[in-house]
Chains A and B, each alone.
Chain A
Amino acid sequence: MSLYRVAGKGRVTTAKPVSFSFDGRTYKGLEGDTVASALLANGVHLMGRSFKYHRPRGPVAAGSEEPNALIGTRRGPGRFEPNTRATVQEIWDGLQVTSQNKYPSLKFDIGAVNDAAYMLFSAGFYYKTFMWPKSFWHKVYEPFIRAAAGLGVSPTEEDPDTYASRNMHCDLLIVGAGPTGLAAARAAAMDGLKVVVVDENPEAGGSLLSEPQVQINGQSAWDWLSGELDALQELGVKVMTRTTAIGYYHQNMIGLCEKVTDHLAVLPEDTPRERMWRVRAKQVVLAQGALEKPLVFNGNDRPGVMLAGSAQTYLNRYGVLVGKQPVILTSHDSAWHAAFDLHDAGAKVQAIVDTRDSVNEALQKEARDRGIPVKLSHTATGTSGRLRVKSLRVNPVSGATVGAGYNIACDAVLMSGGWTPSLHLFSHTKGSLAWDDDRTTFLPKETPEDCVIAGASRGLWGVAAALMDGAEKGRAVVAALGKKANVQDYSVEVDRAGSGVSHKELPTDQNPGKAKAFIDFQNDVTAKDVRLAVREGMRSIEHVKRYTTTGMATDQGKMSNINGLNIAADALGKKQPEVGLTTFRPPYTPTTFGAFAGYHRGDHFEVVRKTQIDSWAEENGAVFEPVGQWRRAWYFPKSGEDMDAAVRRECAATRASVGIFDASTLGKIEVVGPDAVEFMNRMYTNPWTKLAPGRCRYGLLLGDDGYIRDDGVIGRLSQDRFHVTTTTGGAARVLNMMEDYLQTEWPELNVWLTSTSEQWSTIALNGPNAAKLLQPLVDGVELTEEAFPHMSCIECTVAGLPARLFRVSFTGEIGFEVNVPAPYGRQLWEALWDAGQQYDITAYGTETMHVLRAEKGYIIVGQDTDGTVTPYDAGMGWAVGKKKPDFVGMRGLARPDLVAEGRKHLVGLLTEDHSKLEEGAQIVFDKNQPIPMTMVGHVTSSYDVGTTGRPIALALVEGGHDKVGDTVYIPMPDRTIAAKITDTVFYDPENNRLKIGSGV
């Protein structure tokens, strides 16, 4: 039996010892222990170093609210988790635990010099201490702060565990399986209702687990509990333990994180580590209970100083005495019972020190009967002991006068500043709070959700009150569901409901400016920090919070918020409700990224869309680039080629003979119906009425603001059918826009829109030999200038496959786009590849496609335009149907600022020194003007590997169309580049090469 283990106490299994390691040393605990309870049983209180001052810290609580005892847990490679609370992590054989934020060791930590230098780290120190010299920030201060401050270290290996996501629907969800929650469940578990109870602890019972003395309906608390759980199971109630309700979202959706394997020595096969449940409940009962508050006094963070109620939990639930000579320091009755329990378990309680001048006589008698000295009207002004508390300094208080202090030797200080109802989930619902002066806390008022809050979480103390209120609220929600409730009566004895008072920091006879009286233990925020923040002008509690960081640590201020508020309100000279409480936000306790990500990791995180031809590209050595979700072949390097060499070769080969390109990612929309042409007239700038079936047109799509949104070649297959292509990235957006106008502006039009992007594999053939290559494979049309001129389309067969054949060009060469049903994509590609061997066919990727189109001045929407470019700006006024009564963007184009002088125009740029410009580089007219210079545009596209013999660029330049031939300047960090404004077409401006049989 460990030194501090009490025989016959607790719910741990004495017959099942468990061994684990802490900082490399092996310890023994019992099945049912947490890391904290097992270490405390071995007399170990020192479990970590604090965030800012590196002060030695031990557990102050016994549950998930614990701010101090943060540990790293390891289970073999990849399974490391930092910042786990030792008070929550259950032990198992072989668990490896390490302390955090210390160097070189927990007992001797160099970072503790911060504690002596505490004046540097006062509230807002980030904004003050490290301001000068400015150059020191990056190299000296920031690395120092980052190394010195902080919590655990992030894991570096990939997490090998899996995480599950589940949905659940129920009639009633109860959060908290303490007496309140169980009574509510019992009331509701009738009439076929689906009732679910969740609790973050490994077992249900809540406060009953720490209060075995209570008698319920003539049974001991634990006997009643096990009988009640059996009864609930019988009634079909689902009780989920190790399951934290992390957040309460709209319309009664609650997020649950269920820890499945963290407590197991051996991981079961095919079991996720955690499950994230999305629960939609018709009604919710919140029964989260209350959390004990610390008292704020100098040295209240020393290892061995902890909450009285937690000491009671360690004793009654885990059979562990946290100290053999504890002293109690309290402003609430509940800590007296902790004193009695510890005394009865063999501890020598040194004193009960109460801040109040009068305390219930029955309690005082119980103390006297046990021989425990009682000191009323006292304050605490200090503690001693380096790694563990050795004494508590207390002083009598008379009115406003603090008398002479004296020390009480002890090995633990058990404090209680009263209880704070747990309102976290209630706050998530946007529930309103009301200040309760008697209890010095906020209580829940109204919530917009179908939810009630019951028991200690609305300020009712004691098991009897919890059971009664739980039952009553359970009946109320059942009534709201229109069902019959179970009526249950509870008689409770040996209950310990009590009362107390709340404090700001305790009065002291010493200089409060030097006191280390902690409010927020995890972020090392003291009472004087909050007062300093108020002195420095912070008025709102939200500002005080951010300036001091109180309540901003991973514990979300569970223990500290009300103490922080009381002190801030006092400093501001206001009442607490006038100062207000900061907002609680989900998650209730720290939650792993794994649980949120669920199945969405690795390949399932984001879809990689691949075309049917992707496999061929991969086999043939393509380098890929992501385009939206698509993975596209970027270029096809031959051995020894870099990107520039490959692209130069691909460009040259396409212009010399024929190139083949996978254009399957192009967005495609089928526009069909009697009113299809009218719809096209209204959507696109171009006129469509006179476009004959079998012909194509370049279409430009604007927003109603007049700016270019998308473009693409559109073929009219028959009177009532258009094959619309969009940019690769714009397909979904364009279809949405079309649907929006069709459904809501022109519902009278008889048109259907269908996305066909993935129905077609599209292969582009470009080059002087494209027609020669293709003709033998085509059935149904002669590929001559007369029978199938540029901008024609036809349904035919290609290589024996049903096809839509387009004669279009995005390169300036003779070009075809062959569309076949998607699954035939690779088959067609290989047929064309084989047929092209005699012409030295070359596969090219997106980079060559970009270069070839830029040489012809063809824009890419989203690269050469940015959402503020009109067709006129882009030099494409020819695409605007000026005689149409209306199209989307027509009125927008007449807006005053769109017809104003000095708009940016798309132009070509040729650098004087033949250097390549950077895309995005800013342009100026006068290179000698003082800095900051007036910027008049930017480079949108730039390439130096094409077939024109020199680098080319496209740019948006103010008034550019009127400045062709002028020189502009592009200032770069090392030099200024001069460039001449040109037309956007750098290659074959007469379009001679588009013609079949032109002899080029």
Chain B
Amino acid sequence: MLLIHCPYCDETLPEAEFTYAGQAHVIRHPEPSSQTDQEWEEFLFIRENVKGDHFERWRHFHGCGRYFNAVRNTVSDKFLTTYKAGAPRPQLSDLKEGGE
């Protein structure tokens, strides 16, 4: 069972308290009507399938209830970092495995 750091509670807690919520930084355009069919298709359906460091969303469901972002390595299953929703996407070069 993974241990996950909630950036809102600032606690590292067992995976059972969290739910996975898909790829991170998939932005819903503020004016969806301005989007072409292809742009909307990409927003709805096209996701990365990363072997390696993956930006993804988690929710501290059985805790504070907040959605947040994380970088997790899909091979080692280790978290490189977690950060609040809305915070800028971190540079991978600044991160190392197991860090928070």
- Enumerate chain A interface residues (CB-CB to B < 8 A): 249-251, 253, 278, 280, 430, 448, 704-705, 736, 739-740, 743-745, 747, 885-886, 890-892, 894-896
Q: Is the CB of A743 within 8 A of B40?
A: no
Of A250, A253, A745, A885, most buried by chain B (CB within 10 Å of CB) is: A250
**Considering only CB atoms, which chain A residue lies closest to B61 in the complex?**
A736
A329–B15 Cα gap in the complex (Å)?
51
Mind listing 10 A-B residue pairs with CB under 8 Å?
A: A250-B1, A250-B3, A251-B2, A280-B3, A705-B44, A743-B85, A744-B57, A747-B85, A891-B33, A892-B44
Q: Quick check: A743 and B67 within 8 Å, CB to CB? A: yes
Decide if B76 is an interface residue (CB 8 Å cutoff). yes
**A253 and B28: CB pair below 8 A?**
no
Closest Cβ–Cβ distance, residue B99 to chain A (whole Å): 14
Determine how close the nearest CB of chain B comes to the CB of A496; give it in whole angstroms: 40
- Contact yes or no, B67 A448, CB < 8 A: no
A425 to chain B, nearest CB (A): 16
B2/A745 in contact, CB under 8 A: no
**C-alpha gap A258/B81 in the complex (Å):** 36
Kindly identify which residue among B28, B44, B65 contacts A745, using a CB–CB cutoff of 8 Å.
B28
The answer to whether the Cβ of B17 comes within 8 Å of any Cβ in the partner chain is no
Contact with A along B1-29 (1 / 0, CB 8 A): 11100000000000100000100000010
Q: Is the CB of A886 within 8 A of B32?
A: yes
A251-B1 in contact (CB<8A): yes
Shortest CB–CB separation between residue A875 and chain B, in angstroms? Answer: 24
Q: Which of B28, B41, B59 has the most chain A CB atoms inside 10 A of its CB?
A: B28
Residues of A within 8 A of B86 (CB): 744, 747
Q: Is B31 at the interface (CB under 8 A from chain A)?
A: yes
Q: Which residues of A contact B15 (CB under 8 A)?
A: 250
How far, in angstroms, from A885 to B57 measured CA to CA in the complex?
28
Provide the bound-state CA to CA distance between A747 and B67, in Å: 11
Beyond A743-B67, A743-B85, 19 additional pairs, beta carbon < 8 A: A249-B1, A250-B3, A250-B77, A251-B1, A251-B2, A280-B3, A448-B78, A704-B28, A704-B43, A704-B44, A739-B65, A740-B59, A740-B67, A744-B86, A747-B85, A885-B33, A890-B32, A891-B33, A896-B37
Q: Does B35 contact A (CB under 8 A)?
A: yes
B40 contacts A892, C-beta separation under 8 Å: yes
Residue with the highest number of chain B CB atoms closer than 10 Å, among A280, A739, A891, A895: A891
- What residues of chain B lie closer than 8 Å to A892, measured between beta carbons? 40, 44
Distance between Cα atoms of A747 and B85 in the complex (Å): 10
Cβ contact of B67, chosen from A705, A739, A890, cutoff 8 A: A739
Give the chain A neighbours of B35 by CB distance below 8 A.
891
A891's nearest neighbour on chain B, judged by CB, is: B32
A756: min CB distance to chain B, Å: 15
The distance from the CB of A583 to the nearest CB of chain B, in whole angstroms, is: 15
What residue of chain B has the Cβ atom nearest to residue A252's Cβ? B3
Contact B1 A890 (CB under 8 A): no
Q: A251-B2, A430-B76, A745-B28 are in contact. Are A895 and B33 (CB under 8 A)?
A: no
Instruction: Give the residue name and chain of the A residue nearest to B28 (CB).
Output: A745
- 3 shortest interchain CB distances as A-B pairs: A891-B32, A250-B2, A251-B3
Q: Report the minimum CB–CB distance from B64 to chain A (whole Å).
A: 11
Pick from A250, A251, A740, A892 the residue with the most CB of B within 10 Å: A251
A705 and B44 alpha carbons, distance in the complex (Å): 7
CB atoms of B21 and A740 under 8 A apart: yes
B1 touches A253 (CB 8 A): yes
| CB–CB A895/B37 < 8 A | yes
B69-92 Cβ-contact flags toward A at 8 Å (1 or 0): 000000011100000011000000
CA distance A250 to B77 in the complex (A): 8
Least CB separation from B4: chain A residue: A251
Please report the C-alpha to C-alpha distance between residue A747 and residue B27 in the assembled complex, in whole angstroms. Answer: 13
CA distance A135 to B2 in the complex (A): 49
- State A891–B76 Cα separation when bound (angstroms): 38
A448 to B72 Cα, complex, angstroms: 14
Q: Which one of B3, B32, B66, B77 lies within 8 Å of A743 (CB-CB)?
A: B66
A493 to B85, CA, bound (A): 63
CA distance A743 to B43 in the complex (A): 18
Whether the Cβ atoms of A744 and B1 lie closer than 8 Å is no
CA distance A448 to B73 in the complex (A): 12
Q: Is B40 a contact partner of A891 (Cβ separation < 8 A)?
A: yes
* Interchain nearest-CB distance for A835 vs B (Å): 41
With contact pairs A739-B65, A745-B28, A886-B32 given, residues A448 and B40 touching in the complex (Cβ less than 8 Å): no
Give Cα A294–Cα B43 distance, bound, in whole angstroms: 58
Does B76 contact A890, Cβ atoms closer than 8 Å?
A: no
- Closest-CB distance, B98 to chain A (whole angstroms): 9
Tell me the bound Cα distance from A430 to B21 in angstroms. Answer: 25
Residues of A within 8 A of B66 (CB): 743
B75 closest partner in A (C-beta) = A430
B33 and A890 within 8 A (CB): yes
Q: Are B44 and A448 in contact (CB under 8 A)?
A: no
Residue contact A895 to B76, C-beta cutoff 8 Å:
no
**Shortest beta-carbon distance, A117 to chain B, in Å?**
47
Question: What's the Cα separation between A744 and B67 when bound, in Å?
Answer: 7
A278 to B28, CA, bound (A): 40
Closest A residue to B32 by beta carbon equals A891
Q: What residues of A have a CB within 8 angstroms of the CB of B28 in the complex?
A: 704, 745
Question: CA–CA, A991 to B4, complex, Å?
Answer: 55
Contact of B85 among A448, A744, A896 (CB under 8 A): A744
Contacts of B59 in A (CB 8 A): 736, 740
Q: How far is the CA of A739 from the CA of B57 in the complex (A)?
A: 13
CB closest residue in chain A, given B37: A896
Question: Who on chain B is nearest to A753 by CB?
Answer: B65
From A280, A705, A743, A744, residue with most partner B Cβ within 10 Å? A744
Name the B residues within 8 Å of A448 (CB-CB): 76, 78
Q: In the complex, A739 Cα to B19 Cα: how many Å? A: 13
Closest Cβ neighbor of A448 among chain B residues: B76
Distance to closest chain A CB from B27 (angstroms)? 9
For B32, list chain A residues within 8 Å (CB). 704, 886, 890-891
Q: Which residue of A lies closest to B40 (CB)?
A: A891
Contacts of B41 in A (CB 8 A): 895
Residues 27-70 of B, flagged 1 when their CB comes within 8 A of A and 0 if not, give 01001110101001101100000000000010100000111000
* Chain A residues positioned under 8 Å from B78 (CB to CB): 448
CB distance from A613 to the nearest CB of B (A): 29
**Cα–Cα, bound, A716→B41 (Å):** 35
What chain A residues lie within 8 Å of B67 (beta carbons)? 739-740, 743-744
Which residues of chain A have C-beta atoms less than 8 A from B33's C-beta? 885-886, 890-891, 894
- Per the bound structure, the CA–CA distance linking A745 and B77 in Å amounts to 28
* Cα–Cα, bound, A336→B23 (Å): 61
Contacts of A430 in B (CB 8 A): 76
* Whole-angstrom CA separation of A430 from B76 in the bound complex: 8
* CA–CA, A784 and B44, complex, Å: 47
Q: In the complex, which residues of chain A have a beta carbon less than 8 angstroms from the beta carbon of B44?
A: 704-705, 892
The residue of chain A having its C-beta at the shortest distance from the C-beta of B73 within the complex is A448
Rounded to whole Å, the gap between the CB of A246 and the closest CB of chain B is 14
State the CA gap A448–B97 with chains docked (Å): 10
Report the nearest A residue to B97, measured CB to CB: A448
